[in-house]
Amino acid sequence: ATARKAELKARFDRIFKRSTGFATLGRLLARLHANRDGNGVGPDAQVAVVVPAFVYTAEHATMLAALCNALTGQTRAHRLIVVDDGSSQPIHLPDPVKVHRLEGNRGPAATRNRGIALAIADGAEIIALTDSDCRPQPGWLEALVAAFLENPQAHLLSGMTQSRDRCWLGRYHDRNGTLNGRRLTEGGGLLYGPTCNMAGCRAVFEALRFDEAFPSAAAEDIEFCYRANRLGYRIAHCANAVVEHDFGYDQLPPHRAWARFYRQFRRYADGEPLLLERHPDYLAAFTGSVEIPVARAHSEPSLTARAAEGATA
């Protein structure tokens, strides 16, 4: 135990030593952002929504259908591009949605890249990204377009993502801003935003794509945003662009919900080694950023309460 504590202390010492360089990094990013052209978005900008999909259970198929329903209700016109990442069962969606299928399961980075290429070829000036387990609110795209117009120096936007799950695990994600990225303490921009609720102007996606060496949905969005920042593209937060993320906890008994919660964070951690290999200075930037929690009240029962109710039913 003593050796383990010493190892952890040494690790944190290294992190904080690196973090002393963050002030320099923050000033560098501010200069890079100032020298980059604006987003070039106009009020009549064409919008495309790219969704990577990997369907292998009935639950996934139901979630994807719910997402398409939510996008049908958007107040802003758009083209929906669904890219099938080699699903084990066919994806059937109503017209005019066209599903583009990849051969084999290549991961979300490659799947998004294919959708982005299709959107650019189709003339999209704003490309919004979300996931098949999400449900954007009706004004999601309208809010993103408005934010680009109001902040012409913003090249990427990250919206407000809240959990659809009302149990304690859902509250945890909201209070810790799991899917809301992190705000830089210097300069006001974001260090990164998650791809379940992101939009970028055409120029960003013409210059950058996701690193396909990341095999799963773990840190590939962080790595993309870090490169964007270093190239001078500014990332801003758009609190009015709201997406609900369905973790699926409420549909599970408590012990299975906890297991899913653990696997989620285990997967996030799996992406960190490659992220730090690509960007050894990322830890310095991370220590100079803060989380963005979801501001809303929860009055729903906890997992423990639900388990007790089930035992007495």
Q: Could you report the average pLDDT of every consecutive run of 10 residues in the chain (313 residues)?
A: 56 44 59 77 96 89 91 94 90 84 89 97 97 95 97 96 86 84 88 96 96 86 94 94 89 87 82 89 87 65 39 34
What pLDDT does residue 296 have? 56
29 domain-assigned: no
Q: Are strands 47-53 and 79-84 parallel, antiparallel or unpaired?
A: parallel
Residue with tokens 């996934």: 60
Q: And the tokens for 38?
A: 């604006």
Type and span of the H or E element at 190: strand 190-192
Q: Are strands 134-136 and 47-53 parallel, antiparallel or unpaired?
A: unpaired
Q: And the tokens for 301?
A: 């029962």
9 domain-assigned: no
15 domain-assigned: no
176 domain-assigned: yes
71 domain-assigned: yes
Cα–Cα dist 97/67, whole Å: 12
Residue with tokens 């139901």: 62
244 domain-assigned: yes
Please report, for the domain that includes residue 231, its CATH number.
Answer: 3.90.550.10
- What is the four-CA torsion angle of 98, 102, 107, 108, rounded to 10 degrees? -20
What pLDDT does residue 148 have? 98
Question: Is this structure's pTM higher than 0.95?
Answer: no
What pLDDT does residue 28 have? 66
Q: And the tokens for 200?
A: 């970028």
37 domain-assigned: no
11 domain-assigned: no
Work out how many domains the chain is built from and give that number. 1
Residue with tokens 């799991």: 178
What pLDDT does residue 126 have? 98
Cα–Cα dist 79/16, whole Å: 45
The whole domain housing 217 covers 42-312
In the DSSP assignment, the letter for residue 155 is -
- In one letter, which amino acid is 42? G
